[in-house]
Amino acid sequence: MLNIVLFGPPGVGKGTQAALMVQHYGFKHLSTGDMLRNEIKNETPLGKEVKQLIESGFLVSDGIVIALIKEQIAAYKDAKGFIFDGFPRTTVQAESLDKMLEAQGTKIHVMITLDVAQEIIIERLQKRAVIEGRSDDADLEIIRNRFENYEKQTKPVMAYYSAQGKYHIAKCSDTPESTFAVVEKIIASHV
């Protein structure tokens, strides 16, 4: 089993790289953003609770996303590996993830941070807003809010994995495939 934290600011391309990793390695993709959007779409009580926060670009509480991830880890315990996308976003979540995996006799093996210039990200987010109809991608003020939360609440997660010797950076290049070549090299050094 190989467990990967796919990390980086909103719009950096985590979903695209995760899809390539699923195709290539057959790992299970766990995106808390997708799970939450699904709850909103299905108008569940949880969906109703988080809708406003997500649409304004704030993080939902640690307890909510930890519970979602815990359920998925248990449901797919025979997976070849997990790709954690958009989780953990706080050090509390990272600590909790370590405990959950330890209880299943496994761990995070590698963290891959995707890195790309902020101007390119903003352009991409605004394109995605049109294609996917994501209101949190459409408004510049909400995008700024998400970046600010990333800097304040999420970036410390890098130091958390760095202290464990698991931090890797993949500088994104022109195409998803050429970025994936970098990701593949990092993974190859862990299998």
CA distance 144 to 153: 14
* Minimum gap (Å) between residue 107 Cβ and ligand AMP: 19
Strand intervals (E) in the chain: 4-7, 28-31, 82-85, 110-115, 167-171
Strand pairing report for 110-115 and 28-31: unpaired
Strand, helix or coil at 40?
helix
The residue among 13 and 57 lying less far from ligand AMP, judged by its C-beta, is 57
Find the angle CA(101)-CA(8)-CA(121) to the nearest 5 degrees.
155
Q: Which is nearer to ligand AMP, 74 or 78 (CB)?
A: 74
Return the number of the residue (96 or 179) whose C-beta is nearest ligand AMP: 96
DSSP classification of residue 29: E
- CB 113 → ligand AMP: shortest distance, Å? 14
The contact set with ligand AMP (CB under 6 A) reads 10, 32-33, 36, 53-54, 57-60, 65, 86-87, 89, 93, 136, 146
Looking at beta carbons, which residue is closest to ligand AMP?
Answer: 33
- Give the up-direction half-sphere exposure of residue 96: CA atoms within 13 A in the CB hemisphere: 17
Q: How far is the CB of 149 from ligand AMP (least distance, A)?
A: 7
Find the Cα–Cα–Cα–Cα dihedral 33, 156, 84, 116, rounded to 10°. 80
Q: Which is nearer to ligand AMP, 81 or 86 (CB)?
A: 86
Which residue's CB is nearer to ligand AMP, number 65 or number 182?
65
What is the number of residues in the chain? 191
Q: Minimal distance in Å, beta carbon 102 to ligand AMP?
A: 19
Distance of closest approach, residue 53 Cβ to ligand AMP, in angstroms: 6
